[in-house]
Amino acid sequence: MTPKQVVEFAKENGALMVDYKFMDFVGIWQHFTTPISEFGEDIFEEGLGFDGSSIRGWQPIHASDMIILPDPATAKMDPFTAIPTLSLICNIFDPITKEDYSRDPRNIARKAEAYLKSTGIGDTAFFGPEAEFFIFDDVRFDMSANQSFYVVDSTEGIWNSGREEFPNLGYKPRHKEGYFPVSPTDSLNDLRNEMVMEMQKVGIRVEAQHHEVATGGQAEIDMRFDSLVAMADKLQWFKYIIKNVAVRNGKTVTFMPKPLYGDNGSGMHCHQSIWKDGTNLFAGDKYGGLSQLALWYIGGIIKHAKALCAFTNPTTNSYKRLVPGFEAPVNMAYSSRNRSASLRIPMFSTNPKAKRIEYRTPDPSCNGYLAFAAMLMAGLDGIENKIDPGQPLDKDIYGLSPEELKDIPSAPGSLEEALNCLKEDHEFLLKGDVFTPDVIEKWIEYKTEAEVNPVRMRPVPIEFALYFDI
């Protein structure tokens, strides 16, 4: 839509308020709202001011003024507000330099798309994330100098099979047996359907929804792929809708990668491909029906995988999921059909348009704009430098001996390690000014000070069980 069309759209839908949404540096949607009387076409040119120093990882207090510029193509009616509200996703503008703000994640994603076009390699990068999540009935957590705890609960959690529920009807998925059972074992089908219906209202095409492997309400809703920035926008709507539908039904949702011990964590497998002039450049006659270009793209992902994890797996909790020998794909190998490989080539269709790669290491705690941009830049580096991904690995990687695994690169073991890898390997991200040195430095600084150090310094309950009586 054009600005004029957005104004008409708002009138047609009876909008009384306008909500301006934007992504903070870390990956949480922020917003503020104005009455419709303050809205007009000029907003798309002049923008609106706000305090950038109050946003995590952004401006210092002595240089706090920033401007939001709404993108007219993102106009939708918000499905959750009591008052009819027009919703717009915004880009961030620096009022002094008159340039797009370097730390605005959406700006980084836009620059990644522009860089792809500038290379001449392709004109569109498609992404299809599969963001898994948990639906819980209760969550409590707290911490202080002398104590800390968390408790999550779900009526379908197997740990409640002996609870007095008056009556307890059973039908609780066992650990690692939550994949695809029908109701009543799958108690959340209606809730997921409600989430799907709300997604469709804002233009998100959904391909499927289902219960996931873990007990205690793990779920997956699969969106149709889209271009990089559009998909990152949709991922934010996806999270927003899922959380709000859950809350209005008296439940809560988390996209933490590993909220439960002893069962599967939540990943975000990312399907991706590059197209040019309507042709899928990843389709070819090489291994798994891929092109040579796609294999080089895989080579770039493998080469930069450790640094990529700083954006694709950006929380300390991410590495509770990425543990060698368990369900998460930590070994950087590629294979067709083989789900134990970090890079899989789906073989569901022989149609060249469906040919893609699936990177299985990322998780849904990531900032989609940054994660998609970083993966694209790694893949393009592989294409530009013709990086050989090596031979495919068609064996079950989980069953390989240490000797067989020694030459296969693996994901970092902690967020701190991933950040150190990013510090040493980020030149590929700086091409085309997509990521700037300032962004890399601030990301490492923020993650270290706000997340790595506090977690590193805090005792956890299992340490008391292991060491109190030493």
Is 449 part of the annotated catalytic residue set? no
Q: Using DSSP, state whether 121 is helix, strand or coil.
A: coil
Q: Using DSSP, state whether 390 is helix, strand or coil.
A: coil
Closest by CA position to 342, among listed 427, 402, 268: 268
What is the rounded distance in angstroms from the CA atom of residue 310 to the CA atom of residue 435?
13
Is 132 part of the annotated catalytic residue set? yes
Q: Which residue is catalytic, options 71, 94, 130, 381? A: 130
Residue 107, φ and ψ in degrees, nearest 5: -65, -40
Cβ contacts of residue 124 below 8 Å, gap of 6+? 113, 116, 227, 274, 275, 276
Is 445 part of the annotated catalytic residue set? no
Q: Which residue is catalytic, options 137, 339, 384, 394? A: 339
Q: Is 229 exposed, middle or buried (0-12, 13-18, 19+ CB in 10 A)?
A: buried
Is 339 part of the annotated catalytic residue set? yes
> Residues 236, 29: contact at Cβ < 8 Å?
yes
Q: Which residue is catalytic, options 24, 220, 381, 451? A: 220
Q: Which residue is catalytic, options 156, 360, 426, 451? A: 360
State whether the Cα torsion 129-132-138-140 is positive or negative.
negative
> Residues 446, 56: contact at Cβ < 8 Å?
yes
What is the rounded distance in angstroms from the CA atom of residue 212 to the CA atom of residue 266?
9
Q: Which residue is catalytic, options 24, 94, 113, 132? A: 132
Torsion-angle region of 12 (φ positive above 0: left; ψ -120 to 50: alpha; else: beta): alpha
Name the strand (E) or helix (H) holding 166: none
Is 212 part of the annotated catalytic residue set? yes
> Residues 218, 264: contact at Cβ < 8 Å?
yes
Q: Which residue is catalytic, options 358, 363, 381, 451? A: 358
Q: Which residue is catalytic, options 192, 269, 271, 304? A: 269
- Token code pair at residue 37: 């009387």
What is the rounded distance in angstroms from the CA atom of residue 22 to the CA atom of residue 33?
12
Q: Which residue is catalytic, options 19, 186, 212, 263? A: 212
Q: Which residue is catalytic, options 8, 46, 51, 65? A: 51
Is 156 part of the annotated catalytic residue set? no
Is 356 part of the annotated catalytic residue set? no
What is the rounded distance in angstroms from the CA atom of residue 122 to the CA atom of residue 114?
10
> Residues 91, 100: contact at Cβ < 8 Å?
yes
Mind telling me the catalytic residues? 51, 130, 132, 212, 220, 269, 339, 358, 360
